[in-house]
Amino acid sequence: MDSAAGQILYPLHRCKTVHLVRHAQGVHNVAGEKNHDEYMSYDYFDAHLTPLGWNQVDNLRKHVKATGLSKTVELVVVSPLLRTMQTAVGVFGGEVYTDGISEQPLMMENVGHSDHLAVSSLNCPPFIAVELCREQIGVHPCDKRRTISEYRNMFPAIDFSLIENEEDILWKPDVREKVEAVSARGLKFLEWLWTRKEKEIAIVTHSSFLFNTLRAFGNDCHPNIKSEIRKHFTNCELRSMVIIDRGMIGSSESTTNFPGKIPRGPDVPSEAAD
């Protein structure tokens, strides 16, 4: 701690605000809660949201609008799985897409058996899919993604350019990613965030990814704050945090600092004067 009160002071331009969101309820969540073995079933390959999940999305969307986050978020980063992209688009996307709009829709109609109308990409932040924030990979078919071509047809306005492989080469049917590897991937993801110019970013991802990433933080905090950082996310929970670039990984120059002495002149501090 830098002070007895446990406070810390840091330059604003070395900070980012992140709004962490776990996806809404998926069909695999319902099945897995009844019987954990269901996570092994290919019936839940790249699981989509349930009707209850879409209700959760609608409620979070109302909250995001009521709090003003819909106007301050500059970028939405999303895991390239169906349930996260449905959640991200439903919460942070535009209004219902109608014929005659020149821009591509964020999501086509009825994606993932949702009976959901198409969503416009107008008047909302850009969306980018990033594999670093995927769920713990392997063994569970619900965590295996489709081809990028399929996703581009479903979500035309999401940017998939950072995903190198058309097929999901990361997912293995007999090897589950170790939690230590998920944590390391999460820290690498946070480093990647510092390559972005945006200062306020929403991230729509998964329970295990969030838990295993955030458990690396909070050791220098009050126990209550540590618990607040590390506790498991519920479906469609949003938690806002500030991340600090203490290692100068990639923070930009300040846009609000002012150098002073314009015009120049004597400025000896009063305590230094005779």
Helical ranges in 35-159 per DSSP H = 51-67, 69-72, 82-92, 148-154
- CA angle (96, 102, 103) in 5-degree steps: 65
- Percentage of residues in the chain having pLDDT higher than 70: 97
Rounded-to-integer distance, Cα 13 and Cα 89, Å: 28
The CA-atom distances, in angstroms, between 30 and each of 25, 169, 235 are 8, 27, 11
pLDDT of residue 1: 42
Segment 117-165, tens digit of pLDDT: 999 999 999 999 999 999 999 999 999 999 999 999 999 999 999 999 9
Considering the candidates 23, 28, 140, 206, report the single residue annotated as catalytic. 23
Annotation marks residue 23 as catalytic: yes
Amino acid at 208: S
Amino acid at 247: G
pLDDT of residue 97: 84
Domains of the chain in start order, with CATH, are: 12-244 (3.40.50.1240)
> What is the arithmetic mean of pLDDT over 215-219?
92
Q: What share of the chain is helix, strand, coil (3-state, %, to 5)?
A: 35, 15, 50
> What is the arithmetic mean of pLDDT over 34-40?
95
Segment 155-206, tens digit of pLDDT: 999 999 999 999 999 999 999 999 999 999 999 999 999 989 999 999 999 9
Considering the candidates 48, 116, 131, 135, report the single residue annotated as catalytic. 135
- Indicate if the pLDDT at residue 3 is higher than 70: no
Please answer whether residues 168 and 145 qualify as being in contact, where contact means their C-beta atoms are separated by less than 8 angstroms: yes
- Label each residue of 22-57 as H, E or C: ECCCEHHHHHHHHCHHHHHCHHHCCCCECHHHHHHH
The CA-atom distances, in angstroms, between 222 and each of 17, 217, 228 are 21, 12, 10
Strands (E), 54-207: 75-78, 127-129, 200-205
Rounded-to-integer distance, Cα 231 and Cα 222, Å: 14
Banded model confidence at residue 249, pLDDT cuts 50, 70, 90: confident
- Percentage of residues in the chain having pLDDT higher than 90: 80
Banded model confidence at residue 251, pLDDT cuts 50, 70, 90: low
Chain-centroid distance of CA 16 in Å reads 13
Annotation marks residue 19 as catalytic: no
188 membership: H or E segment, kind and range: helix 179-193
